[in-house]
Every structure is written in structure tokens, then in C-alpha cells.
């Protein structure tokens, strides 16, 4: 349960035959990050955060959430350059904390990415229906709502968009990255359009008073909500095995995409609250589309329509990145034997884990089609904050346990920065609802049951490793620790570790 993977062997095994192709460049990564970040959070939740919690201090909420994410990104950067293999926080925990912790974090990330895809698909469907309605095309209610909601049977557009993106991802990573770059360019363009069109309508009188009625509590509650708007940058590291020169390019992708989004969000927050008195953002007309509402309110209706198209594009790329990230976590967990080997088989033509992508697409598509997920954003935030805190803890632990390891990127101000990151994540978790806490615990219990019934028995570590006195585990580099097919053999090391 507490065995750890040995880093050099882990990297070697990922480089062996059967692994993914390194095709992603720095710009692809920044685009991948932005693709995962800008979506429902800014286009929908910014209105909720300003109207109901943070008021004119919305930019402060963005700064707080953004800084927490930046600290987490620096911790991710240290880990991901040290261990540039698929699996993200899951793999880092395997090396720093041990198998059971890796399982918990992997299970947590499956929840985060899966529900994020479903939630964004539902939002996407709502935006699409509204845009078509404004063009005079009415979609039938039974096929735009889940069963039991407003006469609905299935939210068909949500299912179809998830399936379409699933098929795109199966085609191959480079093609997906290319499509993502086009979509991200469109959404950046509409955000810049919003800034240019609305900046002339800012009334500084709207910014008074600056602090919300609930004071700092409102600002922090707003930060706990808009945190959702930053989720997604961590998906960059799930592509670690498909990145050229990951030691150099991963930090660029992680930190670059996050900084671009922090700056854009602060500017949008300032302009939004300057154009519309914040209390109006909580109104029924604004709550689902606050940014388009701001343009409509100053009479630029064509701009609002263009922005809606951009928002739809934005949500599309978020789903693409999240689906991508989830498939790579599954892939890594299955490669380690903690999930059935079926999930780690690569398609020989496209070099993608196509079976797992199709499986995930089907499950998240069903959730999007049949469930009204009101508390999903909170649950997604919960899962992500837990993941960030564990990664920061892992950085501290590995610095103490293995200070001699080569770290191409070093997180600055250790141990202060990771400790602040852990504290800030815990603080934001406390600002989330109790339902999210409860649902998270239930998901965790299900995960532990799966681990003890399947993972612990089939773990590659357990079957093929030799435990060192300190509990870490070595593999020979002669075979890939990939899918569990009969041709893929992993031999325990009996002599010196050649990677040392």
C-alpha cells in the first residue's frame, strides 16, 4: 500500500516502446493550458461571484484564486519536470507518498475531470440553445433538459458535443492540439473584443463601494467560486509524455497559460463591474451570461451574439482538454496495474489510448445527458483543491526524502510557498458547501473499495518490485511498464540500479 515508485525507473519505463509520441511544443502547451482554463468560470460564474458574493471586489477574488493556482503551478512545475510522464499528480504521489495516496489522488482527478466535462457540456448546451433561440430556432424541451427537469428526457446537445470531442481525441494528439489552438484563438479574440467594445462604457461610479456587503468573507467566497475559472492548467502536465523537451517546456506551458488568464480575468472583472452595477449581475437576465449581458446592457447586441459564439468555443476547448487529461490519468493508472490493462492499450495507428478515451467519452456523455449537476462546480473545485494540496505536500516530502534528485525546475521559497499553498487550499475548501464535502467523501469511499478489491492485487509494483529499506521500488528498463499484455514483462531489479 505504501510502496513508492522510483523516479529514474519510472521515467525510463515511460520512454520504452509502446509509449506516447512527443509532439507538443511550448505554444501548443500554452494553448492547451488556456484551452482548459477559460470557459464556464469566466463566462458564467463571474456573474455569480460578483452579484452574490464579491461585488466590485471581483478582481480581488480573481487575484486570490489566481495566486493559489500560481503557487500550485510552481509545485506542479517542479514535479512535472522531474517526472515528465503521463499521470500528473497521480504519478507524483506514487513517487513521493506511496501507492495508496497515488490511488486516492488519481481517483480524485478522475472525478474532477469527468464532472468538469459533464458540467461544461451542460453549460455548452444551454448557451447553444439560447443562441439558436435568438436566431429564431427553438430546440424541443424534451431534448435539451435531463429527465425530470422542465419536461426533459435527455440533454441531447450535451451528449453530442461530448461524443464529437471524444472522436476527435481518438484521432491523435497532434490533430487535437491543432484544433484546440484554433478554438483557443477564437475565444481569446472574443475576450479582447469584449474589452475593446466595453471599456469606453466604464463608469467609475459603479466601483463605489469597492468592498461587498459581506466584506472579506464575500471576497473569499467569490474566490472559492471563481477558482473554477482557473482549473485546467493542471491538465498540461497530464500531457507530459507527449511534450518535446518537457524539462524546459512544461514550466512555460503551466505558468505561461496561467499568467495570461490571471491578467485577462482581472481586466474582465474590473471592466464588468465598471459597466454594470454589480447587483444587476445577480439578476435572472445576467446570471447565466454576465459578460454578454454587459454588452447587451450598453446596446451592443451584435457584440453579445459574437461573444456567445466565443463562449461556446471556450467551453468546447475546456471539454477537449479535460477529456484529454482524464484519459491520460486512466492510462497511467492502468499502466501501473491499478485499473484493468484494457485502459492502457494504445491504438497502433493513432498512438492514443483510444479505448479509454471512448470509455470516458461514453460515461461523461451519459452524465451530461441525464443529470442536472447544480453542485458540480463545487465538487470539481473540491477535488482540485485536494489535488493541489497533496502535490504541494509531495514537493515538501520529496525535497526532504530525496534532496539529491535532479530538479530541472525548482519551486522557489520552499518550504514557505508549498505550505502557504496547502493552507490556502484548505481555506478555500472550508468556503465550499457541505454537500460538496459529503459527496467527495462518498466518492473517496467507492475509490478505496475499488482499490482494495482490484488495484492492490494487480498493482505492477506489488507483483514485480523489490522493496528497498526506504520503501521505494525499482524496475529494469528492459520492458515497458505499460499495458498488461503478456508481451510486456517487468523484471525486478536484483543488482545496482542503472538509472542512478
CA angle 130, 132, 133 (to 5 degrees): 60
For residue 48, state whether it binds ligand ALA (rule: CB under 6 A): no
CB of 189 to ligand ALA, least distance (A): 18
Q: Which helix (H) or strand (E) holds 4?
A: strand 4-5
84 binds ligand ALA (CB under 6 A): no
Using rule CB under 6 A, residue 66 touches ligand ALA: no
Pairing state of beta strands 472-473 and 4-5?
A: parallel
Q: For residues 3 and 471, is the Cβ–Cβ distance under 8 A?
A: yes
- Of 229 and 291, nearer to ligand ALA (C-beta) is 229
CA diameter of the chain: 75
Reading the block at residue 233, the C-alpha cell is 492548467
Dist. CA 446–CA 462, nearest whole Å: 22
Residue 231 or 493 having the CB closest to ligand ALA: 231
- Residue 228 is a binding residue for ligand ALA (CB under 6 A): yes
Shortest distance, CB of residue 418 to ligand ALA, whole angstroms?
23
Number of residues that bind ligand ALA (CB under 6 A): 11
Among 29, 30, 37, 421, binds ligand ALA (CB under 6 A): 37
Interaction between residue 318 and ligand ALA (CB under 6 A): yes
Q: Which is nearer to ligand ALA, 83 or 225 (CB)?
A: 225
8 Å CB contact between 230 and 261: yes
Give the residue, chosen from 89, 100, 197, 231, that forms a contact with ligand ALA under the rule CB under 6 A. Answer: 231
User: What are the grid coordinates assigned to 103, written together?
Assistant: 490511488
d(CA 4, CA 95): 5
Identify the residue among 31, 34, 52, 120 touching ligand ALA (CB under 6 A): 120
Q: Is 72 in the site for ligand ALA (CB under 6 A)?
A: no
Q: Which of residues 254-313 bind ligand ALA (CB under 6 A)?
A: none
212 is a contact residue toward ligand ALA (CB under 6 A): no
Half-sphere exposure of 178 (CA within 13 A, CB side): 7
Residue 385 CB, nearest distance to ligand ALA (Å)? 13
Return phi, psi of residue 43, to 5°.
-75, -25
What is the nearest approach in angstroms of ligand ALA to the Cβ of residue 479? 38
Using CB under 6 A as the binding rule, whether residue 229 contacts ligand ALA is answered as yes
State yes or no: residue 183 binds ligand ALA (CB under 6 A): no
Cβ neighbours of residue 353 closer than 8 Å, sequence gap 6 or more = 327, 328, 330, 331, 343, 344, 345, 346, 347
Pick the piece of the chain touching ligand ALA (CB under 6 A) from 164-172, 203-211, 228-236, 433-441. 228-236
120 vs 294 by CB, closer to ligand ALA: 120
Kindly state the smallest distance separating residue 362's Cβ from ligand ALA, in Å: 21
372 phi and psi, to 5 degrees?
-85, 110
Q: Does 232 bind ligand ALA (CB under 6 A)?
A: yes
User: How many residues would you count in the chain?
Assistant: 500
Alpha helices of 276-375 — where are they, by DSSP H? 290-297, 301-335, 354-370
- Residues lying near ligand ALA in the complex (CB under 6 A): 37, 39-41, 116, 120, 228-229, 231-232, 318
Amino acid at each position: 500500500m505504501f510502496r513508492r515508485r522510483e523516479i529514474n525507473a519510472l521515467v525510463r519505463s515511460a520512454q520504452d516502446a509502446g509509449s506516447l509520441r512527443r509532439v507538443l511544443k511550448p505554444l501548443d502547451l500554452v494553448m492547451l493550458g488556456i484551452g482548459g482554463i477559460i470557459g464556464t468560470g469566466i463566462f458564467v460564474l463571474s456573474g455569480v461571484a460578483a452579484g452574490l458574493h464579491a461585488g466590485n471586489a471581483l478582481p480581488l477574488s480573481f487575484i486570490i484564486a489566481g495566486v493559489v493556482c500560481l503557487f500550485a503551478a510552481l509545485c506542479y512545475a517542479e514535479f512535472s519536470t522531474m517526472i515528465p510522464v503521463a499521470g500528473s499528480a497521480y504519478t507524483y504521489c506514487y513517487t513521493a507518498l506511496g501507492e495508496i495516496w497515488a490511488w486516492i489522488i488519481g481517483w480524485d482527478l478522475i472525478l474532477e475531470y469527468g464532472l468538469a466535462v459533464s458540467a461544461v457540456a451542460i453549460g455548452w448546451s444551454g448557451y447553444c440553445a439560447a443562441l439558436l433561440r435568438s436566431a429564431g430556432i427553438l430546440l424541443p424541451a424534451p431534448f435539451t433538459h435531463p429527465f425530470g427537469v422542465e419536461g426533459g428526457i435527455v440533454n441531447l446537445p450535451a451528449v453530442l458535443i461530448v461524443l464529437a470531442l471524444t472522436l476527435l481525441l481518438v484521432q491523435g494528439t497532434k490533430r487535437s492540439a491543432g484544433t484546440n489552438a484554433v478554438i483557443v484563438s477564437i475565444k481569446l479574440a472574443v475576450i479582447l473584443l469584449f474589452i475593446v467594445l466595453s471599456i469606453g462604457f466604464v463608469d467609475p461610479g459603479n466601483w463605489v463601494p469597492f468592498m461587498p456587503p459581506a466584506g472579506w468573507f464575500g471576497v473569499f467566497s467569490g474566490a472559492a467560486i471563481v477558482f473554477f475559472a482557473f482549473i485546467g492548467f493542471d491538465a498540461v502536465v497530464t500531457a507530459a509524455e507527449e511534450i518535446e523537451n518537457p524539462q524546459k517546456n512544461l514550466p512555460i506551458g503551466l505558468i505561461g497559460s496561467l499568467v495570461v488568464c490571471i491578467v485577462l480575468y482581472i481586466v474582465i472583472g474590473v471592466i464588468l463591474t465598471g459597466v454594470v452595477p454589480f447587483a444587476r449581475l445577480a439578476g435572472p437576465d445576467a446570471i447565466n451570461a454576465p459578460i454578454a449581458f454587459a454588452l447587451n446592457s450598453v446596446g451592443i447586441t451584435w457584440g453579445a451574439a459574437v461573444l456567445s459564439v466565443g463562449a461556446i468555443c471556450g467551453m468546447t476547448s475546456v471539454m477537449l482538454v479535460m477529456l484529454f487529461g482524464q484519459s491520460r490519468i486512466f492510462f497511467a493508472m492502468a499502466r501501473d496495474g491499478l485499473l484493468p490493462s484494457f485502459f492502457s492499450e494504445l491504438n497502433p495507428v493513432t498512438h492514443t489510448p483510444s479505448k479509454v478515451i471512448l470509455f470516458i467519452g461514453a460515461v461523461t456523455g451519459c452524465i451530461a445527458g441525464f443529470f442536472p449537476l447544480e453542485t458540480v462546480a463545487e465538487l470539481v473545485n473540491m477535488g482540485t483543491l485536494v489535488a493541489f494540496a497533496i502535490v504541494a505536500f509531495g514537493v515538501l516530502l520529496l525535497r526532504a526524502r530525496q534532496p539529491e534528485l535532479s530538479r530541472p525546475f525548482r519551486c522557489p521559497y520552499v518550504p514557505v510557498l508549498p505550505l502557504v499553498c496547502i493552507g490556502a487550499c484548505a481555506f478555500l475548501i472550508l468556503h465550499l458547501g457541505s454537500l460538496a464535502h459529503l459527496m467527495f467523501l462518498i466518492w473517496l469511499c467507492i475509490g478505496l473499495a475499488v482499490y482494495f478489491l482490484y488495484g492492490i492485487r494487480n498493482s505492477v509494483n506489488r507483483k514485480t518490485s523489490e522493496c528497498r529499506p526506504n520503501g521505494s521500488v525499482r524496475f529494469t528498463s528492459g520492458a515497458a511498464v505499460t499495458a498488461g499484455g503478456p508481451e510486456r514483462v517487468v523484471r525486478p531489479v536484483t543488482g545496482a540500479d542503472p538509472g542512478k
